[in-house]
Chains A and B, each alone.
Chain A
Amino acid sequence: MAYLDLSLHDIHAALLAKKVIPLALTQEALARAKADKNNAFEFINEKGALEYAASLQEPEKENVFWGIPYLLKDNFSTIGIPTTASSNILNGYVPLFDATVEAKLKNAKAVLIGKTTLDELAMGGTGTTGHLGKTFNPWDPTHERMIGGSSCGSAAAVSSSIVPFALGSDTGDSVRKPASFAGLVGMKPTWGRISRYGLFPFAPSLDHVGFFTRNAEDSALLLNLLSGRDEHDSTSSFKPVERFDSKIGQSIKGMKIAVIKEITDSISNEQLNASFLKSVRALEKEGAKIEYISFGRDLLESIYATYIVISCAEATSNDANLDGIKFGPYYGGSTYQEVMFNARTKGFSELIKRRFVIGSFCLMRENQDVLFLRAQKNRAKIVERTNEILQNHDFIYVPAAPGVAPRFADSSDRLSDEYLIADNHLALGNFAGLPSITMPLAFIDGLPIGVNIMGRAFDETGVYQLAAAFERISGLEGLSVLNKKEGKL
């Protein structure tokens, strides 16, 4: 087993003991990145990473990120490193500033190995719409299955054990859904917990920085590093940064956990239902009090439409800066309208244009009331219901997706119960801005499936306490395609 496959604490211990040095870790990560067959990379930072890793000489005892290789989704701004958000409209764009999260990682002396693919501009859940084409699920060597999106490259890379962690962004479920298909821990903390400065916006009221790790503790350590008020992001929270790993290992006895009945009821996959039930029993055995509750079917079914309206409306405005004038390829034109028209026609894929049209339509004066404002009102209702449940329960616990990673060829029935409810409920966490983590549950025919734990605003410490307990139950800590652990559920 290579050092890269270990947890952050274990790699750190090896670095402190000088059993391995950052340069060797980096070389190994680069070698694995170059051997990637899943289309996970937009850019491999070979020269920069090697130079930087070579400069790291004295390990820092209290800093578990010292010399650790990592990846960023290619929608985080990085000084001097091309950042395209997997869109042709940003080909050749080299940012002039670092995202706050990148600045923090740099400051912690972690080593940036590269930038990963995404659905174009982070809009999409399939990992198929980026300008480099489909990203594949490493658990399926035949390349028939998706990894999910939009943070497809980061998910593929961490489950391939190229790096111990990678950052993504999550607007609807873009970290937590791929985490489920990739057998990873995928975390999205409370809205405002981590600065979004430098994250290319999709829909700011829903956007979150998130990340993939292979165990709950690494995820907590990463949140320790990345969270905190940032003067560049006025929506970032003033809440003091906690030690989010401080309750890991503590008993979950007495925790009150709600399972949303409509979600489990809508899932037809028997193996998933059986594993989920087993996990419920196991949690109860640990002393947790689990209650099946009803959320409200109408509200759950309205999540998808509400999400599409709000996210597309915000996106059409956020991406209006991509006009071919300031950055990205220039296609010419004799008037400013022509310059913009040419750049946006050639720079965006059809799918993106469709979202912009939807968003624009929802914002039109004559439609705002019935579409955009109504969606916002509905969002408020959904949030109210979610928080109501969290008044009586500490956590909401549900399957993260209705099944394993779908085949590219399969198109889901977008109006089925299963799709409308079980494939879209993770957006609850975005609507309400609540901390939400996906954990690997079990395997079905060799493919991972995950569960999701959502907690109260700013209770990431509690979420990690439960997630770590769950990890002991599932036995899937440190899972990757290299070790193919089987788990206990």
Chain B
Amino acid sequence: MNFEPVIGLEIHVEMRTNSKMFSSAPVGFSREPNTEIAPLDMAFPGTMPVVNKQAVINAIRVANALHMAIDHTVVFDRKNYFYSDLPKGFQITQQVRPIGKGGYLDILDKNGKPKRIRIERIHMEEDTCKQLHFVDYTLLDYNRAGVPLVEIVSLPDIRSGTEAMHYVEAIRNIVVYSGTSDGKMEEGSLRCDVNVSVRPYGAERLGTKVELKNLNSIKNIEIALDYEIARQVSLLLSGAPVQQETRRFDETSGRTILMRVKTDAVDYKYFCEPNIAPIRLSDRFVEDAIKTCPELFESKKKRFIEFGLSETDAEIILSDIDMARYFEEGLPVVKNPKALANWLIVEVNGYLNKTGQTISKFSIRPSLLSEIANLQDIGLTHKQCADILNYILEHGGTPKEAQEKLHITIQTSDDVAVLQYVSQVLDANTQSIADFKAGKDRAIGFLIGQVMKISHGKVNPAAVAKIMDIEIRKR
């Protein structure tokens, strides 16, 4: 019997707003635990939530990118439960009226064919505090408590691990390029809970679903789902039922491991948050939020391809928003965008990898890299330009200064000039001509080297080789 997996995703995205969802504490990048806290984040009695406007703007932008209907009335609810990471004993969320409803996202399936995934809802809520468990105690870090989140809930339209991976990638591109989040799965700023079940092909009824957690990279989503689908299928084939349970992905073994068996669903006793009166958003506010949304991934990709970049090159540059920003900042100066892309992808990436740096810390300004790329257009070789780049990386200064220090000049390909040097060298090296005629091919390399030497590198080696080949045969 053949089985079909049915997959739905709940994605939590931590927003990179200046302050928290309901308090004025900064949402920063402090690595020092418990340094970014307002009294509300620890639920001190008498504190009250104040909605972060930027978080609402971000949520509208993401909802719009997902083609959702946006609710112009913002209402929050309380989700009540006791847990050590939940300071207030309730989470403020949007249960009844999510800010966005009924959208979709187009992705590619595992055969590369386009597929539409429907999205049920997107809502705003607040993050919990972070727990660090030790053998006989737990540490709590409230820096994360109250960080704004958007949760994006898909309908169960996904049918393979690959599709799930593409879906998460596409969501990540939207939240990153809309400026909503840094979207780093490894650091937990984008977290996926995956619901997966399998059923015989053609069956209407859904199988028992299993929830997967701890999927901390895009690639792991595919690995975990492939494993879990195979596990469920083999259970069913052996006649055993699939249990409703929560499983955690174990990165080292590539397997999913049982965390807990689900009993009855928890009753969260939702009710409307009484400390936040419903907020009416004007049409103007919603329109402005959408209009001022930074350009998204897909639009940039289209534009980069129009500049002459290959799809792969465009995707490599766009895979890092800072790289994309760098590329765009270099565009006004560079003559050939494709050359700039090449420099970024090959030389700059190589340098960054070697030195363990990121593009945002790269010492050479985009316009400067563009100037260097332009030098190739006016006749310097790639090698010469790379030397200039490396010189500036080491010593600073301008390309002109580097060129002078390195005695780099533009090489001529002018036939008359090249012929002059070639003739001069051939005249002076009759033995090499004889060697060449005797079948020693490498003699020609020596002769070209001689040309480069007496011309002080002013001629283009390719042009030299071409004319040398003609001239040597004439002798």
| A residues apposed to B, CB below 8 Å | 75-77, 83, 85, 90, 93, 95-97, 99, 196-201, 203-205, 231-235, 313-314, 316-317, 319-323, 325-327, 336-337, 339-340, 360, 363-365, 368, 372
A197 in contact with B48 (CB, 8 Å): yes
- Report the separation of the CA atoms of residues A37 and B100 in the bound assembly, to the nearest whole angstrom: 59
C-beta contact mask, B259-274 vs A, less than 8 Å → 1, else 0?
Answer: 0000000010101001
B46 in contact with A198 (CB, 8 Å): yes
- Report the separation of the CA atoms of residues A198 and B80 in the bound assembly, to the nearest whole angstrom: 22
Q: Which residues in A have their C-beta under 8 angstroms from that of B44? A: 77, 95-97, 321, 326-327
Indicate which residue in A321, A339, A360 contacts B45 across the interface (CB closer than 8 Å): A321
B88 in contact with A320 (CB, 8 Å): yes
B46 in contact with A320 (CB, 8 Å): no
Q: Which residues in B have their C-beta under 8 angstroms from that of A77? A: 44-46
Closest B residue to A195 by CB, please name it. B48
Q: Is B253 an interface position by the 8 A CB rule?
A: no
Q: Given A85-B45, A231-B50, A321–B88 Cβ distance below 8 Å?
A: yes
Q: Which residues in A have their C-beta under 8 angstroms from that of B269? A: 317, 360, 363-365, 368
Q: Given A203-B274, A204-B275, A336-B84, A326–B43 Cβ distance below 8 Å?
A: yes
A234 in contact with B89 (CB, 8 Å): no
Closest A residue to B269 by CB, please name it. A363
B51 in contact with A234 (CB, 8 Å): yes
Task: Say how far B413's CB is from chain A's closest CB, in angstroms.
Answer: 70
Q: Is B101 an interface position by the 8 A CB rule?
A: no
Size of the B side of the interface (Cβ < 8 Å), in residues, is: 29
- Other A-B pairs beyond A97-B46, A235-B48, A365-B269, 15, CB < 8 Å: A75-B45, A95-B44, A95-B46, A196-B46, A197-B46, A198-B47, A201-B46, A232-B48, A233-B48, A234-B276, A316-B80, A317-B90, A336-B83, A337-B82, A363-B80
Task: Say how far A76's CB is from chain B's closest CB, in angstroms.
Answer: 7
B274 in contact with A314 (CB, 8 Å): yes
A326 in contact with B42 (CB, 8 Å): yes
Q: Given A234-B275, A234-B277, A364-B269, A199–B46 Cβ distance below 8 Å?
A: yes
26 A-B pairs (CB sep. < 8 Å): A77-B45, A93-B45, A95-B45, A96-B44, A97-B44, A97-B46, A198-B46, A200-B46, A201-B46, A203-B274, A234-B51, A235-B276, A313-B271, A317-B80, A317-B90, A320-B82, A320-B89, A323-B82, A326-B43, A336-B138, A340-B82, A360-B269, A365-B267, A365-B269, A368-B269, A368-B271
Q: Given A96-B39, A235-B277, A321-B89, A372–B47 Cβ distance below 8 Å?
A: no
Closest A residue to B23 by CB, please name it. A232
Task: Say how far B219's CB is from chain A's closest CB, in angstroms.
Answer: 34
| B residues apposed to A, CB below 8 Å | 39, 42-51, 78, 80, 82-84, 87-90, 138, 140, 267, 269, 271, 274-277
A232 in contact with B88 (CB, 8 Å): no
A-B CB contacts (within 8 Å), total count: 103
Indicate which residue in B43, B51, B83 contacts A321 across the interface (CB closer than 8 Å): B43
- Report the separation of the CA atoms of residues A96 and B275 in the bound assembly, to the nearest whole angstrom: 21
A200 in contact with B45 (CB, 8 Å): yes
Q: Which residues in B have their C-beta under 8 angstroms from that of A326? A: 42-44, 87
Q: Which residues in A have their C-beta under 8 angstroms from that of B48? A: 196-197, 232-235
A234 in contact with B82 (CB, 8 Å): no
- Report the separation of the CA atoms of residues A327 and B87 in the bound assembly, to the nearest whole angstrom: 11
Task: Say how far B68's CB is from chain A's closest CB, in angstroms.
Answer: 25
Q: Given A205-B274, A320-B82, A321-B88, A197–B267 Cβ distance below 8 Å?
A: no
Q: Which residues in A have their C-beta under 8 angstroms from that of B45? A: 75, 77, 83, 85, 90, 93, 95, 200-201, 321-322
A76 in contact with B271 (CB, 8 Å): no
Q: Which residues in A have their C-beta under 8 angstroms from that of B275? A: 201, 204, 233-235
Q: Which residues in A have their C-beta under 8 angstroms from that of B267? A: 364-365
Q: Which residues in B have their C-beta under 8 angstroms from that of A76? A: 46
- Report the separation of the CA atoms of residues A77 and B47 in the bound assembly, to the nearest whole angstrom: 9
Q: Which residues in B have their C-beta under 8 angstroms from that of A83? A: 45
Task: Say how far B87's CB is from chain A's closest CB, in angstroms.
Answer: 6
Task: Say how far A236's CB is from chain B's closest CB, in angstroms.
Answer: 9
- Report the separation of the CA atoms of residues A77 and B39 in the bound assembly, to the nearest whole angstrom: 11
- Report the separation of the CA atoms of residues A321 and B275 in the bound assembly, to the nearest whole angstrom: 15
- Report the separation of the CA atoms of residues A99 and B44 in the bound assembly, to the nearest whole angstrom: 12
Q: Which residues in A have their C-beta under 8 angstroms from that of B82? A: 320, 323, 337, 340
- Report the separation of the CA atoms of residues A85 and B83 in the bound assembly, to the nearest whole angstrom: 24
- Report the separation of the CA atoms of residues A201 and B88 in the bound assembly, to the nearest whole angstrom: 12
What are the 6 A-B residue pairs with the smallest beta carbon separation, nearest first? A320-B89, A336-B84, A321-B43, A363-B269, A204-B274, A205-B274
Q: Which residues in B have their C-beta under 8 angstroms from that of A95? A: 44-46
Task: Say how far B89's CB is from chain A's closest CB, in angstroms.
Answer: 2
- Report the separation of the CA atoms of residues A312 and B420 in the bound assembly, to the nearest whole angstrom: 101
Task: Say how far A377's CB is from chain B's closest CB, in angstroms.
Answer: 13
Closest B residue to A90 by CB, please name it. B45
Task: Say how far B135's CB is from chain A's closest CB, in angstroms.
Answer: 12
Task: Say how far A339's CB is from chain B's closest CB, in angstroms.
Answer: 8
Closest A residue to B279 by CB, please name it. A234
Task: Say how far A349's CB is from chain B's closest CB, in angstroms.
Answer: 17
A320 in contact with B80 (CB, 8 Å): yes
Closest B residue to A196 by CB, please name it. B48
Taking each of A196, A235, A339, which has the highest tally of chain B beta carbons within 10 Å of its own beta carbon? A235
- Report the separation of the CA atoms of residues A327 and B47 in the bound assembly, to the nearest whole angstrom: 14
Q: Which residues in A have their C-beta under 8 angstroms from that of B46? A: 75-77, 95, 97, 99, 196-201
Task: Say how far A323's CB is from chain B's closest CB, in angstroms.
Answer: 6
Q: Which residues in B have their C-beta under 8 angstroms from that of A96? A: 39, 44
- Report the separation of the CA atoms of residues A323 and B45 in the bound assembly, to the nearest whole angstrom: 12
Q: Which residues in A have their C-beta under 8 angstroms from that of B88? A: 320-321
Task: Say how far A95's CB is from chain B's closest CB, in angstroms.
Answer: 7
- Report the separation of the CA atoms of residues A190 and B272 in the bound assembly, to the nearest whole angstrom: 21
Q: Which residues in A have their C-beta under 8 angstroms from that of B87? A: 321, 326
Q: Which residues in A have their C-beta under 8 angstroms from that of B50? A: 231-234
- Report the separation of the CA atoms of residues A93 and B45 in the bound assembly, to the nearest whole angstrom: 10
Q: Which residues in A have their C-beta under 8 angstroms from that of B39? A: 96-97
Closest B residue to A233 by CB, please name it. B48
Q: Which residues in A have their C-beta under 8 angstroms from that of B43? A: 321, 326
Q: Which residues in B have their C-beta under 8 angstroms from that of A320? A: 80, 82, 88-90
- Report the separation of the CA atoms of residues A197 and B40 in the bound assembly, to the nearest whole angstrom: 11
- Report the separation of the CA atoms of residues A364 and B266 in the bound assembly, to the nearest whole angstrom: 10
Task: Say how far B203's CB is from chain A's closest CB, in angstroms.
Answer: 30
Indicate which residue in A85, A327, A340, A372 contacts B271 across the interface (CB closer than 8 Å): A372
Q: Which residues in B have their C-beta under 8 angstroms from that of A314? A: 271, 274
Closest A residue to B268 by CB, please name it. A365
Closest A residue to B78 by CB, please name it. A317
Task: Say how far A201's CB is from chain B's closest CB, in angstroms.
Answer: 7
- Report the separation of the CA atoms of residues A393 and B356 in the bound assembly, to the nearest whole angstrom: 77
Task: Say how far B165's CB is from chain A's closest CB, in angstroms.
Answer: 35
- Report the separation of the CA atoms of residues A231 and B44 in the bound assembly, to the nearest whole angstrom: 17
Task: Say how far B288's CB is from chain A's closest CB, in angstroms.
Answer: 21
Q: Which residues in B have their C-beta under 8 angstroms from that of A231? A: 50
Q: Which residues in B have their C-beta under 8 angstroms from that of A325? A: 84, 140
- Report the separation of the CA atoms of residues A96 and B87 in the bound assembly, to the nearest whole angstrom: 16
Q: Which residues in A have their C-beta under 8 angstroms from that of B84? A: 325, 336, 339
Task: Say how far A138's CB is from chain B's closest CB, in angstroms.
Answer: 29
- Report the separation of the CA atoms of residues A154 and B114 in the bound assembly, to the nearest whole angstrom: 70
Task: Say how far A7's CB is from chain B's closest CB, in angstroms.
Answer: 30
Closest A residue to B40 by CB, please name it. A232
- Report the separation of the CA atoms of residues A197 and B45 in the bound assembly, to the nearest whole angstrom: 9
- Report the separation of the CA atoms of residues A360 and B271 in the bound assembly, to the nearest whole angstrom: 11
Q: Which residues in A have their C-beta under 8 angstroms from that of B274? A: 203-205, 314
Closest B residue to A313 by CB, please name it. B271
Task: Say how far A203's CB is from chain B's closest CB, in angstroms.
Answer: 7
Q: Which residues in A have their C-beta under 8 angstroms from that of B277? A: 234-235
Task: Say how far B59's CB is from chain A's closest CB, in angstroms.
Answer: 17
Q: Which residues in B have their C-beta under 8 angstroms from that of A85? A: 45
Q: Which residues in B have their C-beta under 8 angstroms from that of A360? A: 269
- Report the separation of the CA atoms of residues A76 and B277 in the bound assembly, to the nearest whole angstrom: 22
- Report the separation of the CA atoms of residues A176 and B82 in the bound assembly, to the nearest whole angstrom: 35
Closest B residue to A326 by CB, please name it. B42
Q: Which residues in B have their C-beta under 8 angstroms from that of A199? A: 46
